[in-house]
Amino acid sequence: MALTAYLDKGASLGGDAPCLVSDGLTLSYDDVVDHSHAVAAALAREGVRAGDKVAVLSGNDPVAFATVFGIARRGAVWVPINPRNAAAENRELLELFDCVALFHSAAYAELVEAIAPQLPGLRTIVPLADIGTWTAGERTEYGATPPDDTVMIVGTGGTTGRPKGVQLSDRTIETMTAIVLMSYPFRGRPVYLAMAPLTHAAGVLCFPVMALGGRIVVMAAPDTGAFLANVPAHRVTHTFLPPTVIYQLLDHEDLPRTDLSSLQCFWYGAAPISPTRLEQALTAIGPVMGQLFGQSEAPMMISTMAPAEHFRPDGTVAHERLTAAGRPTPLVTVGIMNGEGRLLAPGERGEIVVRGSLVMTGYYRDPEATAEASRFGWHHTGDIGYLDADGYLFVVDRAKDMIITGGFNVYSAEVEQALMTHPDVRDCGVVGVPDDKWGERVVAVVQLHPDSTADEAELITAVKTRIGSVKAPKQVLIWPDLPRSTVGKVLKTAIKEKLRSS
């Protein structure tokens, strides 16, 4: 199924039904279908071919998301660009993925103006505010597909800080959609509230909702108070948030008096969740919490835990499962593997590996990284875990040096590189430490040059300026020296141990 198939399926169930809704704007299924054909025709007019890469740089916006289906209708490849990235990183992604066209919201016009001269391959730039004029008169119908079935390329950092492009095929998205529909409760036409970024998990969860003719309520900005108001106002049935935002909801003064009775499934994932806070959510929000575990390379649904699985048959909370990542989904094979490629028995810890059509087709133009990730015929997640006797998957550690903070992946090497550009920094080590709000917080331990005067605030600001606020440390500690190996390498395990004991 092409991405447009989910939209067209929803339209077949009622074209005048609301599809994408936000404050002051409602687009019906017919509206989005018409928009997708017009965008596809205009892209063709501009010389964009099937298989070309087309980026969207925008916050949560119905028109921006509707434009994704125009890209797909032309047979081009959707490249979502995270607006939270620094300008230099987004320029690198657009270049690395060979993007020939870019749609952007007005909020990022200055960023686009700054990086466009450095991107000669970017031939078409369209402000979303002007898209109606740009597509005027275009009504040609398209049904093209990319030559290699890649429908989406997702940028992800690498352990060296250099991004990679995760290629997702139409079969990958179809598999993910099927898993969603078979793993979680759906009664009637769903109403999905999207406050988390549509460039990430919240976006791909729209496809199963559209397949059922559901309505997607798009929140332009994260606001927990507005989120709580939207649930009863729209009779929301499904939503997704990372644990950090769920914690904010649990602490919000409006939660106890908010009618959440319409909720069927409240997905959580993208970072570890506190079992104590999860148990609180099962009471304060309701018995509707549904876990998902995945990664960009195997999106969202390696394992799932439906709301009912959070409870034992007698109705009591299944505390023993609250630290689990659910059970492997029906369309995915999950194993635990040692370094020699041997699959391990239940209870034994090793790397979580995956097989199935949920897995990416590879990294864009990076055969070495693709081969490394697919050793022994399995996709290697880089996460360490085990399967228990009941088939529940437990994640006990993550890829070396990767930090998940607030639902976003941060690679310590990239933060270290940014810190090392400051003239006062002699050496540093960046680690993730457990945090009740962020899941993990980025902590930098820095050794300064003699007589240097840089302080914590100055160093954090320097990193924010260089690579963006999401990746900047929440805390900087200045130590006279750093623990090192015999060859002088900074020992991050020793840093973590010292931080835990302090």
Tell me the DSSP string of 447-459.
EEPTT----HHHH
Q: Are 181 and 207 in contact (CB under 8 A)?
A: no
Token readout for 133 is 């004029």
At 315, the pLDDT band (50, 70, 90 cuts) reads very high
| Beta-sheet pairing, 238-241 with 265-268 | parallel
Question: Quick one: average pLDDT of 439-448?
Answer: 92
What is the mean pLDDT of the segment spanning 272-295? 92
Residues shown for the chain: 502
- Which has more pLDDT, 23 or 449? 23
Residue 489: per-residue pLDDT: 67
CA–CA distance, 151 with 14 (Å, rounded to integer): 26
Whose structure tokens read 């960023």?
111
- Confidence (pLDDT) at 160: 40
User: Would you state the structure tokens that stand for residue 408, as one six-digit string?
Assistant: 């976003």
164-219, pLDDT tens digit by residue? 999 999 999 999 999 999 999 999 999 999 998 888 778 999 999 999 999 999 99
Q: Which of 66-70, 219-223, 272-276, 436-440 has the highest mean pLDDT?
A: 66-70
Residue 426, pLDDT score: 82
- Which tokens sit at 500? 């835990």
As a whole number of angstroms, the distance between CA 4 and CA 15 comes to 14
Query: Residues 183, 329: contact at Cβ < 8 Å?
Result: yes
Q: Is the per-residue pLDDT at 220 higher than 80? A: yes
Mean pLDDT of 300-324: 95
pLDDT given at position 158: 43
Percent of the chain with pLDDT over 90: 72
Averaged pLDDT of the chain: 92
Chain-centroid distance, C-alpha 62: 18
CA distance 435 to 406: 10
Residue 349 host element (H or E): none
Determine the pLDDT at residue 439: 87
Residue 69's nearest CA partner among 16, 5, 1 is 5
Indicate the range of 8-17, 131-140, 293-302, 311-320 predicted with least confidence. Answer: 131-140
Mapping DSSP to helix (H, G, I), strand (E, B) and coil, where does residue 226 land? helix
At residue 399, the pLDDT reads 58
Token couple for 431: 């680690």
pLDDT of the residue at 88? 87
**pLDDT at res. 488:** 57
> 224-233, 236-245, 341-350: lowest mean pLDDT where?
236-245
- Locate tokens 């997640």: which residue? 381
Segment 466-473 shows an average pLDDT of 90
From residue 13, give the alpha-carbon distance in Å to each of 63, 77, 93, 189. Answer: 21, 27, 38, 10
What distance in Å separates the CA atoms of residue 283 and residue 317, rounded to the nearest whole number?
10
Question: Among the CATH numbers 1.10.3720.10, 3.90.550.10, 1.20.1090.10, 2.30.38.10, which is that of 330-397?
Answer: 2.30.38.10
Residue 22 contacts residue 61 (beta carbons within 8 Å): yes
Helix (H) or strand (E) holding 301: strand 298-305
Cα–Cα distance for residue pair 212/229, rounded to 1 Å: 24
Q: Are 409 and 401 in contact (CB under 8 A)?
A: no
Q: Is the pLDDT of residue 272 over 80?
A: no
- Within 351-455, residue ranges assigned H as helices are 367-373, 412-420
Lowest-pLDDT range of 35-44, 168-177, 404-413, 423-432 = 404-413
Rounded average pLDDT over 127-149? 87
**Please, where are the H alpha helices in 13-84?**
29-45, 62-73
Q: In CATH, what number does 3-305 get? A: 3.40.50.12780
Q: Which CATH number among 3.40.50.2020, 3.30.300.30, 3.40.50.300, 3.40.309.10 corresponds to the domain 402-501?
A: 3.30.300.30
pLDDT at 232 over 70: yes
Letter string b/e over residues 416-436, b meaning 16 or more CB atoms within 10 A of that residue's CB: bbbbeebebbebbbbbbbebe
Alpha-carbon span 145 to 95, nearest angstrom: 23
The domain spans of the chain are 3-305, 330-397, 402-501
Q: Supply the DSSP string of 66-113, one letter for each residue.
A: HHHHHHHHTT-EEEEE-TTS-HHHHHHHHHHTTEEEEEE-GGGHHHHH
Q: Mind listing the pLDDT tens digit for each residue in 45-103?
A: 999 999 999 999 999 999 999 999 999 999 999 999 988 787 888 999 999 999 999 99
pLDDT at 486: 47
> Are the CB atoms for 235 and 264 separated by under 8 Å?
no
pLDDT in tens, 370-406: 999 999 999 999 888 899 999 999 987 665 667 888 8
User: Average pLDDT of 308-324?
Assistant: 95
Classify each residue of 335-374 as buried b or exposed e, where b means 16 or more C-beta atoms within 10 Å of its C-beta: bbbeeeeeeeeeeeebbbbbebebbbbbbbebeebbeebb
